[in-house]
Structure 1
Amino acid sequence: MAENNLPRTRSDWRSKLLAARKVWINTPEAEQAQAALQDRVMTILAELEPDYLGLYWPMQGEFNPMGVAAAAQQAFACRLALPFAQKSPPQMHFRLWNGQPPGTQDDHGIPCPDGSPVVPDVVLVPCVGFTPEGWRLGYGGGYFDRFMAAHPQVTALGVAWEAGRLTQADLQPQSHDIPLMAILTESNTWSS
Protein backbone atom coordinates (compact mmCIF):
# COMPACT_ATOMS: atom_id res chain seq x y z
CA MET A 1 0.00 0.00 0.00
CA ALA A 2 1.39 3.41 -0.90
CA GLU A 3 2.47 5.62 2.01
CA ASN A 4 -0.27 8.19 1.34
CA ASN A 5 -2.94 5.44 1.42
CA LEU A 6 -2.09 4.27 4.96
CA PRO A 7 -4.82 4.79 7.55
CA ARG A 8 -4.31 8.01 9.50
CA THR A 9 -6.51 7.58 12.58
CA ARG A 10 -7.30 4.82 15.05
CA SER A 11 -10.76 4.58 13.54
CA ASP A 12 -9.24 4.12 10.08
CA TRP A 13 -6.86 1.42 11.37
CA ARG A 14 -9.73 -0.31 13.17
CA SER A 15 -11.87 -0.37 10.00
CA LYS A 16 -8.98 -1.64 7.86
CA LEU A 17 -7.97 -4.39 10.30
CA LEU A 18 -11.54 -5.57 10.93
CA ALA A 19 -12.27 -5.72 7.18
CA ALA A 20 -9.12 -7.78 6.57
CA ARG A 21 -9.90 -10.06 9.51
CA LYS A 22 -13.43 -10.67 8.21
CA VAL A 23 -11.98 -12.05 4.97
CA TRP A 24 -9.15 -13.98 6.64
CA ILE A 25 -11.08 -15.68 9.48
CA ASN A 26 -12.69 -18.34 7.24
CA THR A 27 -9.42 -19.51 5.67
CA PRO A 28 -7.42 -22.66 6.50
CA GLU A 29 -4.64 -20.33 7.74
CA ALA A 30 -7.02 -18.88 10.32
CA GLU A 31 -7.89 -22.35 11.59
CA GLN A 32 -4.20 -23.14 12.01
CA ALA A 33 -3.62 -19.78 13.70
CA GLN A 34 -6.46 -20.49 16.17
CA ALA A 35 -4.82 -23.77 17.23
CA ALA A 36 -1.34 -22.21 17.46
CA LEU A 37 -2.56 -19.26 19.53
CA GLN A 38 -4.51 -21.55 21.86
CA ASP A 39 -1.31 -23.56 22.48
CA ARG A 40 0.64 -20.34 23.16
CA VAL A 41 -2.01 -19.08 25.60
CA MET A 42 -2.10 -22.40 27.46
CA THR A 43 1.70 -22.38 27.79
CA ILE A 44 1.59 -18.94 29.45
CA LEU A 45 -1.37 -19.90 31.65
CA ALA A 46 0.56 -22.98 32.84
CA GLU A 47 3.20 -20.58 34.19
CA LEU A 48 0.64 -18.24 35.78
CA GLU A 49 -1.79 -20.90 37.12
CA PRO A 50 -4.72 -18.51 37.54
CA ASP A 51 -7.36 -19.02 40.21
CA TYR A 52 -9.83 -16.85 38.26
CA LEU A 53 -9.43 -16.50 34.49
CA GLY A 54 -11.22 -13.64 32.74
CA LEU A 55 -12.13 -14.35 29.14
CA TYR A 56 -14.45 -12.70 26.59
CA TRP A 57 -17.22 -13.82 24.27
CA PRO A 58 -15.63 -13.91 20.77
CA MET A 59 -16.94 -11.76 17.93
CA GLN A 60 -15.83 -10.30 14.60
CA GLY A 61 -13.15 -12.89 13.89
CA GLU A 62 -11.37 -12.64 17.24
CA PHE A 63 -9.36 -15.47 18.71
CA ASN A 64 -11.97 -17.83 20.17
CA PRO A 65 -11.01 -18.49 23.82
CA MET A 66 -13.64 -21.18 24.44
CA GLY A 67 -11.09 -23.99 24.02
CA VAL A 68 -8.81 -22.21 26.49
CA ALA A 69 -11.72 -21.95 28.94
CA ALA A 70 -12.33 -25.71 28.94
CA ALA A 71 -8.63 -26.61 29.00
CA ALA A 72 -7.84 -24.14 31.82
CA GLN A 73 -10.68 -25.44 33.98
CA GLN A 74 -9.35 -28.96 33.57
CA ALA A 75 -5.62 -28.17 33.87
CA PHE A 76 -5.66 -25.60 36.67
CA ALA A 77 -9.09 -26.06 38.28
CA CYS A 78 -9.51 -22.32 37.83
CA ARG A 79 -12.82 -20.50 37.84
CA LEU A 80 -13.93 -18.60 34.76
CA ALA A 81 -15.38 -15.13 34.31
CA LEU A 82 -16.79 -13.09 31.42
CA PRO A 83 -17.12 -9.31 31.23
CA PHE A 84 -20.27 -7.25 31.60
CA ALA A 85 -19.96 -3.87 29.84
CA GLN A 86 -22.29 -1.14 31.06
CA LYS A 87 -22.99 1.85 28.80
CA SER A 88 -23.86 4.50 31.38
CA PRO A 89 -21.63 5.25 33.08
CA PRO A 90 -19.21 3.35 30.85
CA GLN A 91 -17.59 0.61 32.91
CA MET A 92 -16.91 -3.09 32.87
CA HIS A 93 -16.70 -5.81 35.49
CA PHE A 94 -16.34 -9.57 35.31
CA ARG A 95 -18.93 -12.12 36.40
CA LEU A 96 -18.41 -15.75 37.34
CA TRP A 97 -19.15 -18.04 34.42
CA ASN A 98 -19.75 -21.80 34.38
CA GLY A 99 -18.47 -22.31 30.82
CA GLN A 100 -21.94 -22.84 29.33
CA PRO A 101 -23.52 -20.48 26.77
CA PRO A 102 -24.60 -17.38 28.75
CA GLY A 103 -28.29 -16.67 29.11
CA THR A 104 -28.06 -12.88 29.37
CA GLN A 105 -26.41 -9.99 27.53
CA ASP A 106 -24.57 -6.86 28.60
CA ASP A 107 -25.58 -3.32 27.58
CA HIS A 108 -23.96 -3.86 24.16
CA GLY A 109 -25.80 -7.10 23.43
CA ILE A 110 -22.74 -9.30 24.06
CA PRO A 111 -23.49 -12.61 25.81
CA CYS A 112 -22.54 -12.61 29.48
CA PRO A 113 -23.41 -14.67 32.56
CA ASP A 114 -25.50 -13.50 35.47
CA GLY A 115 -22.97 -14.82 38.02
CA SER A 116 -21.49 -12.91 40.94
CA PRO A 117 -18.98 -10.13 40.26
CA VAL A 118 -15.33 -11.20 40.58
CA VAL A 119 -11.91 -9.72 39.81
CA PRO A 120 -9.90 -12.32 37.86
CA ASP A 121 -6.17 -12.58 38.52
CA VAL A 122 -5.50 -13.13 34.78
CA VAL A 123 -7.55 -11.63 31.94
CA LEU A 124 -7.34 -12.36 28.21
CA VAL A 125 -7.90 -9.11 26.32
CA PRO A 126 -8.96 -9.21 22.64
CA CYS A 127 -7.01 -6.94 20.30
CA VAL A 128 -8.09 -5.60 16.92
CA GLY A 129 -4.53 -4.30 16.54
CA PHE A 130 -1.46 -4.10 18.76
CA THR A 131 2.14 -2.97 18.98
CA PRO A 132 4.97 -5.22 20.18
CA GLU A 133 5.42 -2.77 23.08
CA GLY A 134 2.06 -3.85 24.55
CA TRP A 135 -0.30 -1.17 23.26
CA ARG A 136 -3.72 -2.34 22.09
CA LEU A 137 -6.23 -1.13 19.54
CA GLY A 138 -9.68 -2.28 20.62
CA TYR A 139 -13.17 -1.41 19.44
CA GLY A 140 -13.04 2.16 20.76
CA GLY A 141 -15.18 1.93 23.90
CA GLY A 142 -12.31 1.96 26.40
CA TYR A 143 -13.87 -0.74 28.59
CA PHE A 144 -10.78 -2.89 29.03
CA ASP A 145 -8.60 0.20 29.63
CA ARG A 146 -10.97 1.35 32.40
CA PHE A 147 -10.98 -2.12 33.95
CA MET A 148 -7.17 -2.38 33.85
CA ALA A 149 -6.75 1.12 35.31
CA ALA A 150 -9.06 0.19 38.20
CA HIS A 151 -7.35 -3.20 38.74
CA PRO A 152 -3.59 -2.79 38.17
CA GLN A 153 -2.90 -6.06 40.02
CA VAL A 154 -4.59 -8.08 37.25
CA THR A 155 -2.29 -9.74 34.70
CA ALA A 156 -3.67 -8.57 31.36
CA LEU A 157 -2.65 -10.67 28.36
CA GLY A 158 -3.60 -9.45 24.91
CA VAL A 159 -4.57 -12.02 22.30
CA ALA A 160 -4.32 -10.99 18.68
CA TRP A 161 -3.67 -12.18 15.18
CA GLU A 162 -0.19 -11.41 13.88
CA ALA A 163 -1.79 -9.55 10.95
CA GLY A 164 -2.95 -6.91 13.47
CA ARG A 165 0.59 -5.81 14.35
CA LEU A 166 1.11 -2.04 14.12
CA THR A 167 3.93 0.34 14.97
CA GLN A 168 3.61 2.87 17.80
CA ALA A 169 3.58 5.58 15.12
CA ASP A 170 0.59 3.86 13.49
CA LEU A 171 -1.34 3.42 16.74
CA GLN A 172 -0.29 6.62 18.52
CA PRO A 173 -0.98 5.49 22.12
CA GLN A 174 -3.04 8.00 24.09
CA SER A 175 -2.81 9.07 27.72
CA HIS A 176 -5.75 6.87 28.80
CA ASP A 177 -4.32 3.72 27.14
CA ILE A 178 -3.00 1.03 29.49
CA PRO A 179 -0.25 -1.23 28.09
CA LEU A 180 -0.75 -4.98 28.40
CA MET A 181 1.75 -7.20 30.23
CA ALA A 182 2.16 -9.26 27.04
CA ILE A 183 0.49 -9.81 23.71
CA LEU A 184 0.24 -13.32 22.31
CA THR A 185 -0.27 -14.08 18.64
CA GLU A 186 -0.22 -17.32 16.72
CA SER A 187 3.53 -16.94 16.11
CA ASN A 188 4.94 -14.57 18.78
CA THR A 189 4.82 -13.53 22.42
CA TRP A 190 5.44 -9.81 22.84
CA SER A 191 6.27 -8.76 26.42
CA SER A 192 6.06 -5.11 27.40
Structure 2
Amino acid sequence: MDVLTDLPDWRRTERQRLIAARESVPAVQRAARNVVITALLEHGFPALRRLIVGFCWPYRGEFDARFAIRALRDAGARAALPDVVARATPLVFREWWPGVTMTKRVFDLPVPTDSAVVQPQALLIPLVGFDACGYRLGYGGGYFDRTLAAQPVPPLRIGVGFESSRMSTIHPQPHDVAMDLIVTEAGIHVVGAGALQRIDASESARRAQTLIEERFP
Protein backbone atom coordinates (compact mmCIF):
# COMPACT_ATOMS: atom_id res chain seq x y z
CA MET A 1 0.00 0.00 0.00
CA ASP A 2 1.17 3.52 -0.84
CA VAL A 3 0.47 5.14 2.52
CA LEU A 4 0.22 8.70 1.25
CA THR A 5 -2.12 7.65 -1.58
CA ASP A 6 -4.27 5.50 0.68
CA LEU A 7 -3.82 7.48 3.90
CA PRO A 8 -7.43 7.18 5.15
CA ASP A 9 -7.30 3.39 4.76
CA TRP A 10 -3.87 3.21 6.39
CA ARG A 11 -5.00 5.30 9.34
CA ARG A 12 -8.15 3.22 9.70
CA THR A 13 -6.10 0.02 9.82
CA GLU A 14 -3.61 1.50 12.30
CA ARG A 15 -6.43 2.82 14.45
CA GLN A 16 -8.07 -0.60 14.64
CA ARG A 17 -4.74 -2.26 15.44
CA LEU A 18 -3.86 0.17 18.21
CA ILE A 19 -7.29 0.10 19.84
CA ALA A 20 -7.34 -3.70 19.78
CA ALA A 21 -3.89 -3.82 21.40
CA ARG A 22 -4.97 -1.31 24.04
CA GLU A 23 -8.14 -3.20 24.87
CA SER A 24 -6.20 -6.45 25.23
CA VAL A 25 -4.16 -5.08 28.16
CA PRO A 26 -5.28 -6.72 31.44
CA ALA A 27 -7.34 -4.42 33.65
CA VAL A 28 -4.81 -4.57 36.51
CA GLN A 29 -1.98 -3.48 34.23
CA ARG A 30 -4.07 -0.70 32.69
CA ALA A 31 -5.01 0.54 36.17
CA ALA A 32 -1.34 0.63 37.19
CA ARG A 33 -0.48 2.71 34.12
CA ASN A 34 -3.35 5.05 34.93
CA VAL A 35 -1.95 5.64 38.41
CA VAL A 36 1.46 6.58 36.97
CA ILE A 37 0.02 8.93 34.34
CA THR A 38 -2.29 10.57 36.88
CA ALA A 39 0.69 11.30 39.14
CA LEU A 40 2.66 12.76 36.22
CA LEU A 41 -0.22 15.08 35.38
CA GLU A 42 -0.58 16.19 38.99
CA HIS A 43 3.14 16.89 39.53
CA GLY A 44 4.06 18.04 36.04
CA PHE A 45 1.23 20.50 35.43
CA PRO A 46 0.46 22.50 38.60
CA ALA A 47 -0.72 25.43 36.46
CA LEU A 48 -3.83 23.42 35.54
CA ARG A 49 -5.15 23.92 39.07
CA ARG A 50 -6.36 27.43 38.21
CA LEU A 51 -7.68 26.72 34.70
CA ILE A 52 -10.71 25.30 32.96
CA VAL A 53 -9.52 21.86 31.86
CA GLY A 54 -11.24 19.85 29.14
CA PHE A 55 -11.06 16.08 29.32
CA CYS A 56 -12.76 13.03 27.80
CA TRP A 57 -14.75 10.27 29.44
CA PRO A 58 -12.69 7.05 29.07
CA TYR A 59 -13.45 5.06 25.93
CA ARG A 60 -12.31 1.63 24.76
CA GLY A 61 -9.47 1.09 27.19
CA GLU A 62 -7.90 4.54 26.97
CA PHE A 63 -6.41 6.50 29.87
CA ASP A 64 -9.03 7.37 32.49
CA ALA A 65 -8.60 11.10 33.14
CA ARG A 66 -11.28 11.27 35.84
CA PHE A 67 -8.83 10.68 38.70
CA ALA A 68 -6.54 13.49 37.54
CA ILE A 69 -9.55 15.75 37.06
CA ARG A 70 -10.77 15.02 40.58
CA ALA A 71 -7.40 16.06 41.99
CA LEU A 72 -7.31 19.20 39.84
CA ARG A 73 -10.84 20.19 40.85
CA ASP A 74 -9.98 19.66 44.51
CA ALA A 75 -7.12 22.11 43.96
CA GLY A 76 -9.30 24.77 42.32
CA ALA A 77 -9.64 23.87 38.63
CA ARG A 78 -12.88 23.67 36.69
CA ALA A 79 -13.54 20.77 34.32
CA ALA A 80 -15.42 20.35 31.06
CA LEU A 81 -16.49 17.51 28.76
CA PRO A 82 -16.80 17.74 24.96
CA ASP A 83 -20.14 17.61 23.19
CA VAL A 84 -20.57 16.85 19.48
CA VAL A 85 -23.35 19.24 18.47
CA ALA A 86 -23.15 18.54 14.71
CA ARG A 87 -21.05 16.53 12.30
CA ALA A 88 -17.91 18.14 10.90
CA THR A 89 -18.04 21.05 13.36
CA PRO A 90 -15.84 21.98 16.36
CA LEU A 91 -16.62 20.47 19.72
CA VAL A 92 -18.51 22.40 22.38
CA PHE A 93 -17.34 21.98 25.98
CA ARG A 94 -19.83 21.88 28.86
CA GLU A 95 -18.78 22.29 32.46
CA TRP A 96 -18.68 19.06 34.45
CA TRP A 97 -18.69 18.29 38.15
CA PRO A 98 -19.56 15.16 40.13
CA GLY A 99 -23.31 14.73 40.20
CA VAL A 100 -24.12 16.94 37.20
CA THR A 101 -26.96 15.57 35.07
CA MET A 102 -25.56 13.69 32.07
CA THR A 103 -26.95 12.38 28.79
CA LYS A 104 -25.31 9.75 26.57
CA ARG A 105 -24.38 11.08 23.16
CA VAL A 106 -21.86 10.12 20.44
CA PHE A 107 -20.07 6.79 21.09
CA ASP A 108 -22.56 6.38 23.95
CA LEU A 109 -20.40 8.71 26.06
CA PRO A 110 -22.01 10.91 28.72
CA VAL A 111 -22.20 14.69 28.30
CA PRO A 112 -23.52 17.25 30.83
CA THR A 113 -27.11 18.02 29.92
CA ASP A 114 -27.74 21.61 30.96
CA SER A 115 -24.47 22.96 32.28
CA ALA A 116 -22.81 26.08 30.89
CA VAL A 117 -20.73 26.09 27.73
CA VAL A 118 -17.16 27.02 28.66
CA GLN A 119 -13.87 27.55 26.83
CA PRO A 120 -11.11 25.30 28.22
CA GLN A 121 -7.66 26.83 28.58
CA ALA A 122 -6.10 23.36 28.65
CA LEU A 123 -7.13 20.03 27.14
CA LEU A 124 -6.24 16.47 28.13
CA ILE A 125 -6.55 14.87 24.70
CA PRO A 126 -6.73 11.07 24.36
CA LEU A 127 -4.28 9.42 21.99
CA VAL A 128 -5.12 6.40 19.87
CA GLY A 129 -1.63 6.86 18.43
CA PHE A 130 1.11 9.49 18.55
CA ASP A 131 4.34 10.05 16.67
CA ALA A 132 7.81 11.50 17.10
CA CYS A 133 6.67 15.00 16.10
CA GLY A 134 3.83 15.14 18.61
CA TYR A 135 1.03 14.47 16.14
CA ARG A 136 -1.97 12.50 17.27
CA LEU A 137 -3.95 9.71 15.65
CA GLY A 138 -7.53 10.01 16.90
CA TYR A 139 -10.77 8.18 16.25
CA GLY A 140 -11.18 9.48 12.72
CA GLY A 141 -13.88 12.10 13.14
CA GLY A 142 -11.49 15.06 13.09
CA TYR A 143 -13.34 16.78 15.92
CA PHE A 144 -10.31 17.74 18.00
CA ASP A 145 -8.38 19.02 14.98
CA ARG A 146 -11.33 21.23 13.97
CA THR A 147 -11.78 22.38 17.55
CA LEU A 148 -8.13 23.32 17.97
CA ALA A 149 -8.01 25.06 14.60
CA ALA A 150 -11.10 27.12 15.46
CA GLN A 151 -9.78 28.54 18.73
CA PRO A 152 -8.56 32.16 18.52
CA VAL A 153 -6.27 31.41 21.46
CA PRO A 154 -4.95 27.84 21.43
CA PRO A 155 -5.43 25.91 24.67
CA LEU A 156 -2.54 24.03 26.22
CA ARG A 157 -2.62 20.74 24.33
CA ILE A 158 -1.64 17.76 26.47
CA GLY A 159 -1.88 14.44 24.66
CA VAL A 160 -2.38 11.55 27.07
CA GLY A 161 -2.03 7.86 26.23
CA PHE A 162 0.02 4.71 26.61
CA GLU A 163 3.47 3.86 25.28
CA SER A 164 1.94 1.05 23.22
CA SER A 165 0.36 3.80 21.08
CA ARG A 166 3.72 5.24 19.98
CA MET A 167 4.26 5.28 16.19
CA SER A 168 7.13 6.43 13.97
CA THR A 169 4.76 8.80 12.15
CA ILE A 170 1.06 9.32 11.53
CA HIS A 171 1.97 10.98 8.20
CA PRO A 172 0.56 14.34 9.37
CA GLN A 173 -1.49 16.43 6.96
CA PRO A 174 -2.06 20.22 6.96
CA HIS A 175 -5.17 19.87 9.13
CA ASP A 176 -3.40 17.84 11.84
CA VAL A 177 -2.47 19.79 14.99
CA ALA A 178 0.51 18.72 17.09
CA MET A 179 0.33 18.41 20.86
CA ASP A 180 2.32 20.76 23.09
CA LEU A 181 3.28 17.90 25.41
CA ILE A 182 2.60 14.17 25.53
CA VAL A 183 2.24 12.15 28.72
CA THR A 184 2.47 8.35 28.89
CA GLU A 185 3.35 5.92 31.65
CA ALA A 186 7.00 6.37 30.55
CA GLY A 187 7.00 10.09 31.37
CA ILE A 188 6.31 13.59 30.07
CA HIS A 189 7.55 14.44 26.59
CA VAL A 190 8.06 17.50 24.41
CA VAL A 191 8.89 17.67 20.72
CA GLY A 192 12.48 18.58 19.95
CA ALA A 193 14.62 18.12 16.83
CA GLY A 194 12.01 15.90 15.23
CA ALA A 195 11.81 13.54 18.20
CA LEU A 196 10.02 13.31 21.52
CA GLN A 197 12.27 14.22 24.43
CA ARG A 198 11.45 13.19 27.97
CA ILE A 199 11.50 15.92 30.60
CA ASP A 200 11.04 15.83 34.35
CA ALA A 201 8.09 17.24 36.26
CA SER A 202 9.79 20.52 37.13
CA GLU A 203 10.71 21.22 33.50
CA SER A 204 7.18 20.28 32.44
CA ALA A 205 5.73 22.67 35.00
CA ARG A 206 7.99 25.45 33.72
CA ARG A 207 7.14 24.87 30.07
CA ALA A 208 3.41 24.59 30.72
CA GLN A 209 3.43 27.77 32.80
CA THR A 210 5.30 29.64 30.05
CA LEU A 211 2.85 28.50 27.35
CA ILE A 212 -0.16 29.46 29.47
CA GLU A 213 1.26 32.90 30.24
CA GLU A 214 1.95 33.48 26.53
CA ARG A 215 -1.55 32.43 25.47
CA PHE A 216 -3.56 33.74 28.42
CA PRO A 217 -1.56 36.70 29.75
Judge same fold: TM > 0.5, yes or no. Answer: yes
Is 1:161–2:156 an aligned residue pair? Answer: no
Tell whether the 8 Å contact from 1:86 to 1:107 is kept in structure 2 after alignment.
Answer: no
Contact 1:87/1:108, CA 8 A, preserved across alignment: no
Q: 2:194 maps to what in 1?
A: none
Q: How far did 1:47 drift?
A: 3.9
Q: Give distance in 1, aligned partners of 2:174 and 2:95.
A: 31
Match of 2:84 in 1: 85
Task: Kindly state the Cα deviation for residue 102 of structure 1 after the two structures are TM-superposed.
Answer: 4.7
Aligned residues: 181
On the 8 A contact 1:50/1:78 being kept in 2, the answer is: yes
| AA in 1 matched with 2:23 | K
Unaligned runs of 5+ in 1: 1-7
Output the TM-score relative to the length of structure 2.
0.78
Confirm or deny: 8 A CA contact 2:33 2:185 kept in the other structure: yes
Task: Confirm whether residue 174 of structure 1 aligns to residue 173 of structure 2.
Answer: yes
Distance 2:111 2:41 in 1: 22
2: CA distance between counterparts of 1:165 and 1:33? Answer: 15
Structure-2 residue corresponding to 1:35: 35
Q: Which residue in the other structure is 2:198 paired with?
A: none
Q: Percent identity?
A: 31
1:73 match: 73
Instruction: Give the SS at the match of 1:157.
Output: strand
CA 12–69 in structure 1, closer or farther in 2 if over 3 Å, else same: same
Asked if the contact 1:14–1:129 (Cα under 8 Å) also holds between the matched residues in 2, the reply is yes
The offset of 1:42, in angstroms, is 1.2
How far apart, in 1, do the equivalents of 2:59 and 2:96 lie?
18
| Aligned match of 1:188 | 187
- Give the TM-score normalised by structure 1: 0.87
- Which letter does structure 2 place at the counterpart of 1:153? P
Distance 1:16 1:102, change over 3 A: farther
After superposition, the CA RMSD in angstroms is 1.7
Alignment of 1:21-170 (within 5 A): 21-24=22-25, 26-75=26-75, 77-100=76-99, 102-114=101-113, 115-151=115-151, 152-168=153-169
Q: CA deviation at 1:78?
A: 1.0
Contact 2:88 2:142 in 1 (8 A): no
Query: Which residue in the other structure is 1:18 paired with?
Result: 19
Q: Deviation of residue 107 (structure 1)?
A: 4.3
- Secondary structure in 2 matching 1:9: helix
Opposite residue 63 of structure 2, the aligned amino acid is F
Runs of 5+ in structure 2 lacking a partner? Answer: 1-8, 192-217
Q: How far off is 1:159 after superposition?
A: 0.3
For residues 69 and 153 of structure 1, the distance between their equivalents in structure 2, rounded to whole angstroms, comes to 20
CA contact (8 A) 2:40 2:183 kept: yes
State the distance in 2 between where 1:127 and 1:103 align: 24
